[in-house]
Amino acid sequence: MSYVIGLVLSHITDSLKLGTLAKGVTMKKLILLLSLLVTVVPPSKPKAPSKMCFLVDKSGSMSAEKSGQALEMFLLLAMSGTDSAEMNVKVFNSYTYDWGYRWQALPSKDVVDRAHTFLTSAPALGSTKVLPALAQALAEKKADLSIILITDGEFDELTEDILTLIKNGQKMRKEAGLPPAVIGCVGIGKTQQTSLKKIATLGGGGYYHMEADK
């Protein structure tokens, strides 16, 4: 795993150059998060995600504390982007909302600030319907696509329906000549960890649980 740690440390260096690390950011948190979302193809050639599509839960179950933790996790990952990275941001509750800027290049303090404004202005309300958000993300015509799901996992849909949608979405990507998307999950609060772990296992992107502040 030394190659993964080395790659993650290079990301941290790039992030520090921006001088925009959020309050509460620690080296341990950044290493854990980035190492979960690193793909290795083949094992001798580590490859970090360059097209990151964030799906952030803004449903009624996301309390102020949970929303704050979700924002922190987003900032940690968004500020890890290297010169070849791009990001897209969506929030979901009863509906799915795009941040309106499509894909934006990283690293960029301005881009991260715009995403921060979008996420903090979106109220946490309604139900938790992740299927439309995942379908939109999987339909993105990006070859090196990583979908990062940040949620408490209290979905209205059945886990099996979510997994079926992911399988179908990956099949459609293959038919379009695109490689499968990597899907990673960041669980917030007392999450439905079993469901999120299944999604992350199928998506091959790893799972990280954000524990409550002590």
The pLDDT of residue 128 is 95
Q: Is the pLDDT of residue 116 over 90?
A: yes
Does 20 score more than 50 pLDDT?
no
Q: Across residues 103-110, what is the average pLDDT?
A: 91
Collapse the DSSP code of 48 into the 3-class scheme (helix H, G, I; strand E, B; otherwise coil) and give the result. Answer: coil
The residue extents of the domains of the chain are: 2-210
The pLDDT confidence band at residue 213, using thresholds 50, 70 and 90, is low
User: Average pLDDT in the 187-208 region?
Assistant: 88
- pLDDT score, position 48: 57
Phi, psi of 63 (to 5 degrees): -65, 175
SS3 130: coil
Rg (CA), the chain: 16
Mean pLDDT of 147-173: 96
Of the ranges 68-77, 81-90, 144-153, which is most confident? 144-153
Position 193 pLDDT exceeds 70:
yes
Q: For the domain made up of 2-210, give the CATH fold.
A: Rossmann fold (3.40.50)
E strand or H helix that includes residue 115? helix 109-121
Please state the rounded mean pLDDT for residues 133-156.
Answer: 95
**Which pLDDT score, from 0 to 100, does residue 9 have?**
45
pLDDT band for position 32 (cuts 50, 70, 90): low
208 confidence band (pLDDT: 50, 70, 90): confident
What pLDDT shows up at residue 31?
Answer: 55
| Cα angle: 184, vertex 161, 66; to 5 degrees | 45
Distances (CA, A) of 164 to 8, 35, 101, 168: 32, 26, 29, 6
Whether residue 81 contacts residue 110, with contact meaning beta carbons closer than 8 Å, is answered with no
